[in-house]
Chain A
Amino acid sequence: MSQTEIRTRPAGRRRHRLFNTEAHTALVFLLPSFLGLLIFLILPIAASLALSFSNWSLLSEPRFVGLSNYIRLLTVDPAFFNVLGNTLFFTVEYVILNLVVALGLATWIASLKRAQRWFRVVFFLPTFTPSIAVSMVWLLMFTPGGLVDAVFRTLGVHFPNLLINPHLAMQVIVIVTLWGNVGYNLILFNAALDLVPQSYLDAAEIDGAGPWQRFWKIRLPLISPTLFFGVVMTAITSLQVFDQIFVLTRGGPGSATATLGFAIYQYGFTNYQMGYASALAWVMFIIIMALTALQFWLQRKWVHYDS
């Protein structure tokens, strides 16, 4: 017993010293990233939470007001539920459209033998360009009396001035966002479809499965983890939509296209109500967390992992 102890001790000490040097190196290697994260991510989160319990208008010192920002947004402020409704409406419609269009095009492209990569690039181009520039181009197309109005007139449809129509302006935001961002999910789904083993599809075909059956029964379940990832990420980013709204409508007409992301900017940097804007930001964060948790819970029902 005591003999083994004597024999293992030096080895243990050496390992301990090695461990120390490694820990020391790790400290040096991690320091820049840790300091950056601390100053520009962790401290801001804490500050944001603190601000959300305060009344601060940039000019004066922040004043602690407890829960009153949250109480205000839930009870007094009629704008909040409008903003929340707009945000959820946009997110639901956009995520569904994005999923359908991206999956449809990805499947179409995957069915081709040649030129797959060129089609992928075409649909991906807007994703790699500034959403502000993209929105500017669409603003020109949707300008009253502009191209889109002319096309509608030729078709005999009466939707003039979509951007100043409170019922339809959000649809423009959805279209522009879809055009600008559908490429990412398209490539994601296309890559997943490429990984579905051809032998599965061949076997199903021999068993008499048609193209639709092969899609619904084989491809879709096999790529469901990727679909799941795509839906979660798309929902999280669309809850934050801002650039397109800033350029196309500035939240208008009235407040028909004001979403949470836009409202945070507006309260914070146009009205200088930093405390209230921070409370809105925390509402957004809570929604994102809840949504992510919900989706992780739901995925057990429809996502299949082949293990």
Chain B
Amino acid sequence: MTVVSYCGLTLVALAFLFPFFWMITNTIRPNAEVLAVPPRLLPEEYAWDTFAKAWNELPFGRFFINSFVVAGSVTVITVLVSTLSAYAFARLRFPGRGGLLTTYLATLMIPQVMLVIPLFLIVSRAGLTNTYLGMILPMAFSSFGAFLLRQFFLSIPKELEEAALIDGASRLRVLVSIIVPVSLPAIGLLSLFTFIGQWNNFLWPLIVVDDTAHATLPLGLTMFQTQQGTAWNFIMAGATLSMIPGIILAIGLQQLIYRGIAMSSGFGGR
């Protein structure tokens, strides 16, 4: 019974992984064979240099760097800004705290598609289309991080920081040298989800960028979708490249992701 269960699920899992297999086997065959009729499961002729050729032919290196710069910057800003505001919400008393917290919560409900038009208006009026700043800033101020970290900060015993406060340490000092080191799992989780979310983001770069020099990987992939005689093997090479960070992170940080997703339901569900 157990053996059947394992075998069955393994088969389902392998079938599920098939598109990845198809993607990779199509990067290592010549383009003429990609659309061969009938399709061949394994390449008849191998073209091991597709990846190197694609890298030289299309500016994948550029796209990769752009994706990294944008996703990395958004992550750094999000973590900094969220840490500060989460600490204020978790530990400091100030007039209007409850109301402000509710306002932050309400902004979580707003769909991204809805913001795209006015954000484009703001960014283009500021002359920031086709710039890194225009790609980064509008994505860096979600209030989700403030909630995630606030929740974690509330669980840290107050005694931990009281001694330092009595000794005259400033709140910033307490935050940096006491709260942040204890909160690294939560901060890591926020960084992970922010980075991957931005690495995978397509709609905003599509709106704000139309030159190849600033295109991120997802945007770059679509730029070569309709070129005369689509080079499918090159596009599959690009797709593979764009998936690598996510796959490495998903496998390497599986426990952190598992806990993070489990926490997300506790966050809104209960």
Whether B269 and A119, one on each chain, are in contact in the complex, defined by CB atoms closer than 8 angstroms, is no
CA distance A123 to B80 in the complex (A): 32
CA distance A132 to B23 in the complex (A): 13
CA distance A33 to B93 in the complex (A): 17
Q: Name 26 interchain pairs, CB-CB below 8 A, sorted by A.
A: A29-B92, A32-B81, A32-B85, A33-B141, A34-B85, A37-B107, A44-B122, A45-B114, A48-B117, A109-B9, A117-B255, A119-B9, A119-B13, A124-B257, A129-B242, A129-B243, A130-B217, A130-B246, A137-B19, A140-B235, A143-B35, A147-B22, A184-B261, A240-B112, A268-B120, A281-B116
Q: Decide yes or no whether A80 CB sits under 8 A from chain B.
A: no
Q: Decide yes or no whether A264 CB sits under 8 A from chain B.
A: yes
Q: Contacts of A124 on B, CB cut-off 8 Å?
A: 250, 254, 257
Q: Contacts of B236 on A, CB cut-off 8 Å?
A: 136-137, 140
Q: Decide yes or no whether B196 CB sits under 8 A from chain A.
A: yes
Report which of B171, B239, B246 forms a contact with A136, defined as CB distance below 8 A. B239
Q: Decide yes or no whether B59 CB sits under 8 A from chain A.
A: no
| A95 vs chain B, min Cβ distance (A) | 16
Q: Contacts of B116 on A, CB cut-off 8 Å?
A: 264-265, 268, 281
Stretch at the interface among A70-78, A163-171, A242-250: A242-250
Q: How many residues of A contact B (CB 8 A)?
A: 95
Contacts A129-B246, A130-B246, A187-B257; is A30 near B113 (CB within 8 Å)?
no
Q: Decide yes or no whether B181 CB sits under 8 A from chain A.
A: no
| B132 vs chain A, min Cβ distance (A) | 16
Chain B: interface residue count, which band?
35 or more
Q: Decide yes or no whether B190 CB sits under 8 A from chain A.
A: no
Q: Decide yes or no whether A86 CB sits under 8 A from chain B.
A: no
List residues 109-145 of chain B with CB under 8 A from any CB of chain A.
109-122, 137-138, 140-141, 143
| B120 vs chain A, min Cβ distance (A) | 8
Q: Decide yes or no whether A226 CB sits under 8 A from chain B.
A: yes
Q: Contacts of A43 on B, CB cut-off 8 Å?
A: 118, 122
Whether B243 and A265, one on each chain, are in contact in the complex, defined by CB atoms closer than 8 angstroms, is no
Q: Decide yes or no whether A59 CB sits under 8 A from chain B.
A: no
Q: Contacts of B121 on A, CB cut-off 8 Å?
A: 47, 51, 274
List residues 127-149 of chain A with CB under 8 A from any CB of chain B.
127-134, 136-138, 140-141, 143, 145-147
Contacts A32-B81, A133-B242, A141-B19; is A48 near B118 (CB within 8 Å)?
yes
Whether A229 and B34, one on each chain, are in contact in the complex, defined by CB atoms closer than 8 angstroms, is no
Whether A130 and B218, one on each chain, are in contact in the complex, defined by CB atoms closer than 8 angstroms, is yes
Report which of A33, A39, A44, A129 forms a contact with B82, defined as CB distance below 8 A. A33
Closest A-B pairs by Cβ, 10 of them: A36-B141, A229-B269, A191-B262, A44-B118, A132-B218, A128-B246, A47-B118, A23-B94, A133-B239, A33-B85
Report which of A37, A122, A145 forms a contact with B35, defined as CB distance below 8 A. A145
Stretch at the interface among A3-11, A196-204, A214-222, A285-293: A285-293
Q: Contacts of B218 on A, CB cut-off 8 Å?
A: 130-133, 243
| A185 vs chain B, min Cβ distance (A) | 9
CA distance A19 to B81 in the complex (A): 23
Q: Decide yes or no whether B184 CB sits under 8 A from chain A.
A: no
CA distance A123 to B12 in the complex (A): 10
| A267 vs chain B, min Cβ distance (A) | 9
Q: Contacts of A243 on B, CB cut-off 8 Å?
A: 202-203, 218
Report which of A23, A261, A305 forms a contact with B113, defined as CB distance below 8 A. A261
Q: Decide yes or no whether B200 CB sits under 8 A from chain A.
A: yes
Whether A265 and B141, one on each chain, are in contact in the complex, defined by CB atoms closer than 8 angstroms, is no
| B195 vs chain A, min Cβ distance (A) | 10
Whether A140 and B26, one on each chain, are in contact in the complex, defined by CB atoms closer than 8 angstroms, is yes
* Chain A 219-262 near chain B by CB (<8 Å), digits 1 or 0: 00000011011101100100110110011000000000000110
